Each structure stands twice: as structure tokens, then as C-alpha cells.
Structure 1
């Protein structure tokens, strides 16, 4: 009886230490990614922007500088994108990872840190794939806008329309579904077979699949908000902070759907103002 109590006490102590290590590592990762993102943004700002017809400026993130190759530009953008996504998503992702650790811990598995890291890798992989598509589309549009002045002049109105559409998206059932899946705890549906029983079978496969699925739901849920970031300025720190706050509130508020709709109403108002100013 005494040995059993001692074993349980030791296990609780190890769990506490592991939990503190997780929180500390997550906080350091967030601070590091935030610092790198701020430095990258300052570097891009120092490079300036290209004035375009219609009274707006184009970010140099979509352009190839002297001596650069397109693969090099794409790799630089992808690195910046992944770091930026880590900084923006960690505030809302950390609670989910914490619950994942708890769910897997009930199966008696060890190496929870590595399994949790694998979830994060799968999650960021989805965002990296989106980053590749984003760069390809952004670079193609930038090239067209430089060649077609009429298209460039229409950009301010189009940007306002994108913001307006993103606000309307906040009220859709599609948004509500993916947001609900982002808020679900491990093992509670939304197409994620991430229950404790599955974790007993293959912990690595379970963690990677959970991270990929969570990432897909997150990308879909954040589609409108990320579209706003892209049209306002992908390296604009104020826009990043606003989008990060909106995503975090949606995920962590007691009623995510109500929060999403309130955010949508604000976005629609901003979209109307942008169209009027354009």
C-alpha cells in the first residue's frame, strides 16, 4: 500500500514537472517567434514599398530583389510565414496542446513532450502548405498589378470587398463548423479519431494525425481573418496583432460562435469604410 502511494506521488511529481516544462517551452517559443516576426517586419519596412496606381503601396515581400532567385525568395517567405503563424496561433493553440497532453497521459504513455511536439509539427505543416500557395498567388498577382495599371488602381476597392466578404464569412455555418472543431477537446468528434484508445495503438501516428486535422480545421476557420491580413499587409504588425486577438478570442471565449459573429460585425463595418475611402 505504501509502495503504491509512493509510486503515485512520484508519478504526480513527474507530471507536474513535465507540465511546467511544457508551459515554459511554449512561452519561450512564443516570445522567440514574436521577436523574430517583429524583426522581420522592421526589416521589410526598412526596405520600403513600391508606390502603385490607385494610391497604395506594394510590399517587397512579393518581389525578387537584385541578386535573388525565385526559389530563394519563396524559401525566405516560407520561413517568415511559418514563424509568423507560430507566433499568431500559439496563444490559442497552447490550451489545445495542454488538453492533448492530458488525454494522452491517461493512457500511461511516456514522452509526452515529443508526442505534443509532433502535434505542433503536423499543425504547422498545414500552415506551411498554405504559405507556399499564398506566396505563389501573391507573387503572381504582384506581377499582374505591375503590368496592368487598371488592375492596380482597382486594388483598394477589391481590398475593401475582401474585408467585407471576410466579415460576412464569420456568420456562415461553414465558419461555425470549423470553429467548433478547433475548440473541441481531443477525442470529441469533428472527424478527429483522437481518443485515448487510438493513442494506445500508435502514439506517433495519433499525434501527427491529430495535428494535421486540427491544422486543417484551423486554416478553414481562419480563412477570412487571414485574407484580411493579406490584403491589408502581410507584415503589418498592427494587422497581425488584431488578427491574433480575434483568433484567440474566437477559440477561448465561452461562446465561440457569438464571438465570431461579433468580430464579423466589426469587420463588415471596416470593409464598408475601406470601400467608401477607396
Structure 2
């Protein structure tokens, strides 16, 4: 009886070691995905930067990302925007998402899942599915606003003021307890999965995490939209902000610091639009 117990324990240890040995495979796959998405994002942003923006009343430039290219339909423009947005979000969010997926990978392995890496990757796919839907929503709103600004000169003149107000609101959101709670949910991962280590549970975890993360990052996404949705420098800045507030120790109060800087930039933009600066 004792020999059977010892054999079972050894088998369990062997299976655990095998699952742990797949951790480098999971990390390597994530690194390749990050590298590929970053390369595609750089190429896409470079292509977008080669196109001239549209000078608008009020002294600002409208990004060509919100309008169909020559010969494109609105549907084709939406598909193009959402495709580039999805790739861009992978490049921007993987650095801050990887710890959460790593914890899910570990918890799935400890629960006895045969392929914890595939479950973690499925959770990641579901996570970025939420970001893809957010891109479609953003394009609908942004393209409609762009069309209105081209038809209504008064709205175009007011856009710099509205951009400043957007930054001010985004900065204020960073300071709220709601933001702190959302960020805490993004930071933590499942400690124990139990018997729920399956494809449906992994997809559900990714969808929940993606929804919480989208809401948590909404202020910083607004900053990206104001600075330039396809501007590579703006993407780097926002990526650093998201990664820093997600991975930095809670005691450093990084979200509050980022919010103060964002609100200050919004105030300056409003003052410039009003002619005070």
C-alpha cells in the first residue's frame, strides 16, 4: 500500500515538473507574439504617418485614421482601423498582461491541466477580443465625430478645447477610488483554479479580465486618442504609463501621479485654446 502511495506521489511530481517545464515555452511564445505585433504596429504607424493629416479650423490636424482612404468604403476603413488597432493593442498590453497570464498558467498547471499554456493563451485571445470590440466602438465614435467636425466649422474650432477637457477628465478618473479598484482587479490573478481549468473557464477569465482592463485603461486610451491614435510616440508614452501603473508597487501611487500629469496637460491645452497662454 505504501509503495502504491509512493508511486502515485512520484507520478504527481513528474507531471508537475513536466507542466513547469512548459513555462519557458509559454514565455517564448508570448515573446514572439509581442515581437511580431510590435513590428506590425511600427509598419502600420509608419504607413499612416506617410499620409498627410487634414488641417482643421482651430489650428489642429485631423488624423487620416478616422476617414476612408481614396477608394475605400466606410466598412473597409473600419476593418482597416480595427485590424491595426487590434495588433497595436497586443503590442501595448502584452507587457502588463503577461504577469496575469503567467499566474493563470501556473494556477492551471497546479490544478492538473495537461496543457496550461494553451489555456493561458486562450485566455489571452479572449482578452484581446474585448480590446478588438473596443476598437470598433472607438472607430464608430471617432469617425462620426470627424465627419461632424468637417461639416460644422464651429465644432472644429471647439475641438482643441474638447481635447483639453478630455485630458482633464482622464486625469481626474485616474484619481478616483473606482480606478484603484479596477487596477487592483487587473493586478491580481487566480491563485487556485480547482476543477475549472478548461477552455470555457479560460475564455471566461480572459473576457472578464479584458473588460476590467478596458475600463481601467479608458483614461489612458483617451490620452492616446487625443495625442494621436496612430502616433507611435504617443503609443510608447501610453504603453509606459499602463505598464508602470500595472506593475509598480501599489505604495508608489503611480496612477495618481499619471493622473496629475494628464490633468495638468489638459488644463494647459484648455488655456491655450481659450487664448490665455
Question: What residue number does 1:190 align with?
Answer: none
1:197/1:255 CA distance change after superposition, 3 Å: same
1:263 Cα shift? Answer: 1.0
Alignment of 1:263-274 (within 5 A): 263-274=258-269
5+ residue gaps, structure 1:
188-194
Using the TM superposition, give the Cα deviation of residue 276 of structure 1 relative to its aligned residue in structure 2, in angstroms: 2.2
> Over the residues paired in the alignment, what is the CA RMSD in angstroms?
1.8
* 2:235 is equivalent to residue 231 of structure 1: no
- Secondary structure (helix, strand or coil) at the match of 1:136 reads helix
CA deviation vs aligned residue, 1:172-209 (integer Å, no higher than 9, x gap): 1211111111111215xxxxxxx412525xx1111011
1:217 corresponds to which residue? 212
1:184-195 aligned at under 5 Å gives the runs: 184-187=188-191, 195=192
1:196 and 2:193 correspond: yes
The match for 2:178 among 154, 159, 174 is 174
- Matched pairs, number: 269
The secondary structure found in structure 1 opposite 2:112 is coil
User: How far apart are 1:12 and its partner, in Å?
Assistant: 5.1
Q: Is the 8 A contact 1:54 1:153 kept in 2?
A: yes
The residue number in structure 2 matching 1:66 is 70
Query: How far apart are 1:76 and its partner, in Å?
Result: 0.7
- Superposed, 1:1-278 pairs within 5 Å as 7=11, 10-11=14-15, 13-187=17-191, 195-200=192-197, 203-255=198-250, 258-278=253-273
Deviation of 1:3 after TM superposition, in Å, equals 5.5
Give the deviation of 1:73 after TM superposition. 0.9
Moved over 6 A (4+): none
Inter-partner Cα distance in structure 1 for 2:194 and 2:14: 25
Rate the CA distance shift 1:181–1:8 in 2: closer, same or farther, 3 A.
Answer: same
Q: Offset of 1:20 from its aligned partner?
A: 0.5
Deviation at 1:23, TM superposition (A): 0.9
TM-score by length of 1: 0.91
- Residue pair 1:52, 1:58 contacting (<8 A) in 2 also: yes
Structure 1 residue 149, shift from structure 2 partner: 0.9
Q: Against the structure 1 CA distance between its residues 91 and 71, is the aligned structure 2 distance closer, same or farther, given a 3 Å change threshold?
A: same
Q: Please list the CA deviations of residues 71-100 of structure 1 after superposition, one character each: whole Å capped at 9, or x if unmatched.
A: 111111111011011111000000000000
Greater mean deviation of Cα atoms: 101-110 or 267-276: 267-276
CA deviations over 1:35-54 (Å, ceiling 9, x no partner):
11111111001111111111
Q: Is the 8 A contact 1:179 1:256 kept in 2?
A: no
For residues 224 and 257 of structure 1, what CA distance do their matches in structure 2 show?
Answer: 19
